[in-house]
Amino acid sequence: MTMPTLYTVGYGGRSPEALRDLLPPDALVLDIRLKAWSRDQRWTSFNLSTTLPKFGLRYRHDPRLGNLDYRGDSVRIADTSAAVPLAHSVMSGETIVLMCVCRQPQDCHRLVVADMVRDIDSRISISHLGSDPSLGL
């Protein structure tokens, strides 16, 4: 039996097409930025909700998993209880990719969110897509 997997990815420095090439097919891309806004218009919630379905992907923004201190040096998740239904979805077989801007997970709150989900159910494995393999994450 395959372990349920929660994926994470950072879009920083990538095009939407390059992001698509990293993702499992038919995944739900869960945007966990506190605010789904970017100076690069390709990465706004509106544009992602129209672009990603063209790639066969689903998109949803969930600010509850955003970092309240995204401009600071710490991580404070807006609503940690939002990790519970996320863990249940992964365990039920849904393919979910946590997405944020930070290219490497060790620089991003998505690492904290992924660990929260795994703490809820230790059978969930975490895969950081497109990250530097030498980091050992």
Assign domain 5-132 one CATH number from 3.30.530, 3.40.50, 3.40.1010, 3.10.450.
Answer: 3.40.1010
pLDDT > 90: percent of the chain: 85
- What is the structure's pLDDT at 104? 87
Could you tell me the two tokens for 33? 């930025």
What number of residues does the chain have?
137
- pLDDT category at 76 given cuts 50, 70, 90 is very high
Q: How far apart are CA 78 and CA 58, in angstroms?
A: 23
C-beta atoms surrounding 121 within 10 Å: 14
User: Does residue 3 have a pLDDT over 90?
Assistant: no
pLDDT in tens, 23-58: 999 999 999 999 999 999 999 999 999 999 999 999
